[in-house]
């Protein structure tokens, strides 16, 4: 991470002719970005008005008298930049507002009783009443900076321009730095003045000689943070909470017109600020600068913005759908420390035992081992940093036994692709690779993920697929704020059925997918569902309708015949589809042990509601077509019958889903009736 001063340097400030130097600003005065853009202080050093920000304009106080045009204060800092047709009005009733060309107002100050305003030589912009008293001033509402002569009183905060860090002047007299979004407790702090309990109504002050100090209500000096010196008329001092989370005191020599000089910093440890690298990231020092790294198997959430944190660059099965045959690796990260937020602690003498304990625990995603203690963590991890003096070892649960999926781009192209890297290729891994090649290479359908290419060179096994921008069906179906509408969910069901129909009846030889589940249904940018992951697919000989194989698929979606060691047919995919259909109907997972026992297994609960005539319980308050709901439930019940021969072919399933054929009344799940 490059060195950060985090002064907002104005790329374009209107020239002096577009600024007005006046002591008193009267009611009815206006500013605009393209005409009179700001009001100057009598000295001409400070200005209040518009400055260019990104592709628009913001309103604030800035240093107009130096080349850097440093911003001191910004109004409504979290709002997006305004367009050039905006106007700043000091209204006739004493309000300070921004008004768009469409007439929409955004308030900056509405104190009541204001009759005039002034940009003062101190850098303070103030509104006055008719008696000359200040009724509102920018000094009372600092953003990330305080100037000489300005105070930070108890209960006030500075927030960094990046929105990640804050400086709080606390009731207990302590000046403390925290990450934004955290409570004022010791565990979240990363720097403090150490003045808690030393006085009431403590204030942080910056004098005109650069002295930064803490003063209590009786006028007693509690702590001098800087030395200060003799006041200088040719120097400006300001203190800023910079975007990297470090508090710094700066000075500027007006005669030299050079650069800002750092006089004091709250810390020289660039990795000290908590949250600098976001969730699942950790900070290291490279060339005396902070640099953010991601855990193994993770990538930055936003490329080029490491403070956004890190997320897995591959899909991981959830704990409740854990397949006993699924294996994980444990990646080791040494000399790193994290926030203490473990859910279990074990006393173990060997780090390998700690790693094994995490591997065996479905809930463990990271294990920390140090001094005979093994601490199990869930993600996300917070406040990570490299510490060469610490012997802590972190074990991160990572990739599955064979496939790891990465997001990538094709060289000289902006097109994203999904790259599946096959690992640990013993005989079974080789077989998986060859299967994917044979199967996907000869398939092409709107509802199947398209294979773009592959690499089979030495030990390297890579498959390159089209990239699905909306992730998996599991991502959207089981996330309340993303859950598709009823109509969209029913179209997704038809998409899946069409894809299975292609595999079963339009491929030569016929293909059994063997692992139909929401995680293997990917969604493109248009909301079209596509079946992926043919790693478990089984090819059927043209002369056979059944084949023998070991148990495959994922717990909860696996047809009963897998467990009976009977020959499997295309009906195993029909069964899995039925379970997915139930999930689409109800918008929940097929097994959820957090629910009451009678609802935990979705397949059983659906049948109970159907028998009791209580299908409305499946969809809650959602607005759905009752006849369509009943039809979909009946189709799902047919698909999930215990006896494979009783389940309909997928082509008949699709006809029933589309309402082309009538859906017969389904039998009891264990009944034996005529095959559809």
Catalytic residue ranges:
515
DSSP 3-state of 650? helix
User: Which tokens belong to 368?
Assistant: 């920390």
Cβ atoms of 486 and 584 closer than 8 Å: no
Q: Which pairing describes strands 38-40 and 71-74: parallel, antiparallel, or unpaired?
A: unpaired
Q: Which has the closest alpha carbon to 405: 508, 299, 248, 280?
A: 299
Question: What's the N-to-C CA distance of the chain in angstroms?
Answer: 64
Residue 90 to residue 25: CA distance in whole angstroms: 8
Q: How does 597-619 read in b/e, with b if 16+ C-beta sit within 10 Å?
A: eebebbbebbbebbeeeebeebe
User: Which tokens belong to 275?
Assistant: 């949250």
Residue 473 to residue 599: CA distance in whole angstroms: 22
Whether cis (ω within 30° of 0) applies to the bond prior to 61 is no
- Cα angle 630, 633, 635 (rounded to 5 degrees) comes to 110
Cβ atoms of 247 and 239 closer than 8 Å: yes
- Measured over all CA atoms, what is the biggest interatomic distance in the chain, rounded to whole angstroms? 100
Residue 42 to residue 22: CA distance in whole angstroms: 6
Residue 382 to residue 307: CA distance in whole angstroms: 12
Helices (H), 193-277: none
Q: Which residue has the tokens 């009943």?
A: 630
Cβ atoms of 468 and 531 closer than 8 Å: no
User: Which tokens belong to 423?
Assistant: 């690992």
Cβ atoms of 519 and 530 closer than 8 Å: no
Whether cis (ω within 30° of 0) applies to the bond prior to 506 is no
Q: How does 271-288 read in b/e, with b if 16+ C-beta sit within 10 Å?
A: bbbbbbbbbbbbbbeeee
H/E segment holding residue 332 = strand 328-334
User: Which tokens belong to 55?
Assistant: 């592709």
């Amino acid at each position: 991470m490059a060195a950060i001063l985090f002064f907002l340097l104005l790329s374009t400030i209107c020239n002096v002719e577009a600024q007005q130097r006046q002591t008193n600003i009267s009611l009815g005065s206006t500013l605009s970005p393209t005409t009179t853009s700001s009001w100057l202080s009598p000295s001409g050093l400070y200005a209040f008005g518009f400055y260019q920000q990104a592709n628009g304009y913001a309103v604030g106080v800035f240093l107009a008298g130096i080349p850097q045009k440093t911003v001191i204060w910004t109004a409504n800092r979290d709002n997006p930049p305004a367009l050039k047709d905006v106007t700043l009005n000091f209204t006739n009733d004493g309000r300070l507002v921004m008004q768009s060309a469409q007439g929409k107002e955004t308030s900056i100050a509405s104190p009541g009783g204001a009759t005039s305003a002034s940009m003062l030589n101190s850098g303070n912009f103030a509104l006055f009443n008719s008696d000359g008293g200040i009724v509102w001033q920018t000094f009372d509402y600092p953003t990330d900076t305080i100037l000489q002569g300005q105070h930070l009183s108890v209960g006030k905060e500075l927030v960094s321009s990046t929105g990640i860090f804050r400086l709080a002047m606390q009731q207990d007299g302590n000046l403390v730095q925290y990450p934004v979004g955290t409570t004022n407790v010791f565990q979240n702090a990363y720097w403090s003045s150490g003045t808690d309990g030393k006085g009431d109504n403590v204030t942080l002050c910056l004098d005109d000689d650069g002295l930064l100090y803490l003063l209590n209500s009786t006028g007693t000096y509690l702590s001098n943070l800087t030395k200060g010196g003799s006041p200088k008329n040719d120097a400006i001092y300001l203190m800023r909470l910079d975007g990297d989370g470090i508090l710094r005191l700066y000075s500027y020599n007006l005669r030299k017109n050079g650069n800002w000089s750092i006089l004091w910093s709250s810390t020289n440890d660039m990795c000290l600020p908590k949250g600098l690298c976001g969730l699942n990231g950790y900070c290291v020092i490279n060339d005396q600068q902070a640099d953010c790294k991601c855990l193994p198997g993770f990538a930055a959430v936003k490329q080029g913005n490491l403070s956004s944190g890190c997320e897995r660059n591959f899909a991981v099965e959830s704990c409740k759908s854990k397949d006993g045959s699924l294996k994980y690796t444990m990646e080791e990260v040494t000399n790193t420390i994290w926030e203490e937020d473990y859910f279990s602690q074990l006393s173990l003498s060997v780090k390998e035992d700690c790693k094994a304990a995490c591997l065996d625990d479905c809930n463990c995603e990271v294990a920390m081992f140090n001094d005979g203690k093994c601490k199990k963590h869930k993600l996300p991890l917070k406040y990570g940093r490299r510490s060469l003096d610490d012997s802590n070892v972190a074990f991160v649960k990572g990739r599955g036994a064979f496939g790891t999926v990465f997001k990538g781009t094709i060289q000289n192209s902006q097109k994203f692709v999904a790259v599946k890297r096959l690992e640990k290729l013993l005989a079974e891994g080789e077989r998986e690779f060859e299967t994917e090649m044979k199967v996907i290479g000869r398939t092409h359908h709107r509802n199947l993920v398209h294979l773009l290419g592959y690499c089979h060179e030495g030990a390297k096994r890579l498959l390159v697929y089209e990239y699905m921008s909306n992730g998996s069906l599991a991502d959207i179906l089981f996330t309340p704020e993303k859950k598709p509408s009823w109509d969209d969910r029913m179209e997704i069901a038809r998409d899946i059925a069409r894809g299975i129909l292609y595999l079963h009846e339009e491929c030569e030889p016929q293909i059994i997918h063997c692992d139909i589940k929401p995680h293997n249904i990917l969604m493109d940018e248009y909301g079209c569902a596509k079946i992926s992951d043919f790693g478990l697919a089984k090819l059927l000989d043209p002369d056979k309708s059944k084949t023998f194989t070991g148990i495959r698929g994922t717990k909860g979606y696996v047809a009963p015949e897998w467990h009976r060691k009977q020959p499997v047919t295309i009906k195993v995919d029909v069964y899995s589809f039925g379970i997915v259909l139930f999930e689409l109907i109800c918008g929940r997972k097929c097994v959820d042990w957090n629910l009451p026992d009678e609802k935990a297994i979705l397949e059983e609960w659906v049948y109970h509601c159907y028998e009791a005539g209580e299908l409305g319980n499946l969809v809650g308050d959602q607005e759905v077509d009752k006849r369509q709901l009943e039809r979909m439930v009946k189709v799902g019940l047919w698909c999930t019958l215990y006896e494979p021969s009783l389940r309909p072919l997928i082509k008949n399933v699709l006809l029933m889903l589309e309402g082309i054929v009538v859906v017969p009344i389904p039998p009891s799940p264990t009944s034996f009736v005529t095959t559809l």
